Amino acid sequence: MADREIIPQKSSSMPFQNFDGKADSVSDLNSPGILPPVWTERLAVLKKPRVLISLFLASSAFYCFVIGRDRYTSVSEFVIQQAVPLNTSSSSVLAGAAAAPQVLTSLVDGQYLQVYLASSEVKNRLFPKPISLEKKYPKSIPDLLTGINKASSAPVQLAFYRNLLQVSPQPLSGSVIVKTVGFDPDQAFDFNKSLLLQSRRFVNEVNQSINADQNLFAQKEVALAEKNLKKAFQELEVFQEKFGQLSVQSEQAATSSFISGLESRVVNLKVEEASLRRQYRDPNAPEVSFIADQVRELEKQIRKERQKSVSETGRDLNSLAMRESSLRANVEFSTESLQSARLAADNSRRESTRQLKFLVMLSQPQRPVSPDQNWRWQAFLGSIGIIVVAWGVGGFIAAAMKKA
């Protein structure tokens, strides 16, 4: 062993001759920024479009069919129906063209309800506190893409709430389909029932508010008509108390008749006076003077009665007659207005009853028994659609750049 020759070991940093004839060091492969040829080839392979597309589709499929959380769906269907349809000849939605106005009305109501159920007002009623929505739909490992984060903002919560429901009015039948999503069967089922309660509440509130406004307006008109009639009666009573209970027109007719009688008597006396003047030669004879005095007194009385009937200091029967006629016309008009207002109020009440709306359930929500797989296929097919669109747009841009 002492005679054995000791061969010195070569250091790893010793130079060796490569094919190019240049001396390289092995330690240069470990220097930063320089990858071994094997990894460089692998990265070059990964940069190929087909490989990237395959990785994207594989990761999408892995999420959609492996780690994605189960989602359960509950569906209900109803129609908003009037108590008495607009077309009384047919009360069935299945009556074809005759029920078209009712279908259109139900469709419009369904569109209003679609907006209302997705509003922040309903969200705040179902989830009064922001933390209640976060506790009911939290994120869960390994699927961190679904659910809602803690301490999220109001717009984020509203957007997440709207993703949990789908309200679809049907144009042909006028019905409304409500679909709710949950991470377990009870969530989807309870959420659907809560939306149905909010739908009934919305329909009842709208009906009651509109009917209440119509009835209130009709009652105000009746009260105003009663007030006007009472005022007209009071004015007529004050007039009659001041100028007597007799009718002014009757008094005017009696005065005219009285004056006519006096004028007839004056005519007779003048005839008698003319006859006496022919009998007596003396015009101042007692018999003639007596008749002449009666004629003068009657003419004076006639002038006084006429002046009394038209003068302001007298009874002024003409003005009183016009005033009384106006007051009686006001009473008649107020009476007719009150009758019309009462009739309108009664019609409004009947119309409000006729136009009452309520929900007719066509399909009650059911508690789901198995997860809904549709969303998985929809998400995966959506990722394929993204690849197709990106490939087409990228190819178009590349071709345009080559031509340029």
* pLDDT (average), residues 4-19: 42
Is 50 exceeded by the pLDDT of residue 92? Answer: no
* pLDDT (average), residues 319-331: 81
* pLDDT (average), residues 130-154: 84
**Residue 146, pLDDT score:** 81
**Residue 60, pLDDT score:** 79
Q: Of 33-42, 61-70, 156-165, 236-245, where does mean pLDDT reach its minimum?
A: 33-42
The edge-to-edge listing of strands for the beta sheet with 72-82 is: 165-169, 176-182, 72-82, 357-363
**Residue 118, pLDDT score:** 92
Half-sphere exposure of 5 (CA within 13 A, CB side): 3
Is 50 exceeded by the pLDDT of residue 6? Answer: no
**Residue 37, pLDDT score:** 65
Is 60 exceeded by the pLDDT of residue 98? Answer: no
Provide the CATH number for the domain formed by 71-217+355-366 in this structure.
3.30.1890
DSSP track, 15-60:
-EE-TTS-EE-GGGGGSTT---HHHHHHHHHHTSHHHHHHHHHHHH
Among 48-52, 122-126, 233-237, top mean pLDDT goes to: 122-126
**Residue 356, pLDDT score:** 73
Is 60 exceeded by the pLDDT of residue 363? Answer: yes
For 393-404, the pLDDT digits (tens) are 888 888 888 887
Is 50 exceeded by the pLDDT of residue 358? Answer: yes
Residue with tokens 């004076």: 300
For 175-184, the pLDDT digits (tens) are 999 999 998 8
Beta-bridge partners for 143: none
Residue with tokens 């109803």: 78
Residue type, 259: I
**Residue 8, pLDDT score:** 44
Share of the chain above pLDDT 70, in %: 77
Higher-pLDDT residue of 352, 233: 233
Residues 180, 118 contacting (CB under 8 angstroms) = no
Residue type, 331: V
Is 70 exceeded by the pLDDT of residue 150? Answer: yes
Is 60 exceeded by the pLDDT of residue 312? Answer: no
**Structure confidence at residue 316 as a pLDDT band (50, 70, 90):** low
Determine the Cα–Cα distance for residues 147 and 44; give it in Å rounded to an integer.
38
Q: How far is CA 343 from CA 214, 222, 260, 350, in A?
A: 14, 9, 49, 11
Mean pLDDT taken over the chain: 77
Give 99's DSSP letter: G
**Structure confidence at residue 354 as a pLDDT band (50, 70, 90):** low
**Residue 38, pLDDT score:** 60
For 68-84, the pLDDT digits (tens) are 788 899 999 999 887 65
For 189-236, the pLDDT digits (tens) are 999 999 999 998 888 887 777 777 777 888 888 889 899 989 988 888
**Residue 347, pLDDT score:** 80
**Residue 116, pLDDT score:** 92
**Structure confidence at residue 247 as a pLDDT band (50, 70, 90):** low
Q: Of 147-156, 232-241, 308-317, where does mean pLDDT reach its minimum?
A: 308-317
Q: Of 26-35, 53-62, 106-115, where does mean pLDDT reach its minimum?
A: 26-35
Q: How far is CA 45 from CA 29, 33, 56, 57, in A?
A: 21, 19, 15, 17
* pLDDT (average), residues 249-264: 74
Share of the chain above pLDDT 90, in %: 13
* pLDDT (average), residues 16-36: 46
Which are the contacts of 101, defined by CB distance < 8 A and separation ≥ 6?
Answer: 85, 86, 87
Is 80 exceeded by the pLDDT of residue 318? Answer: no
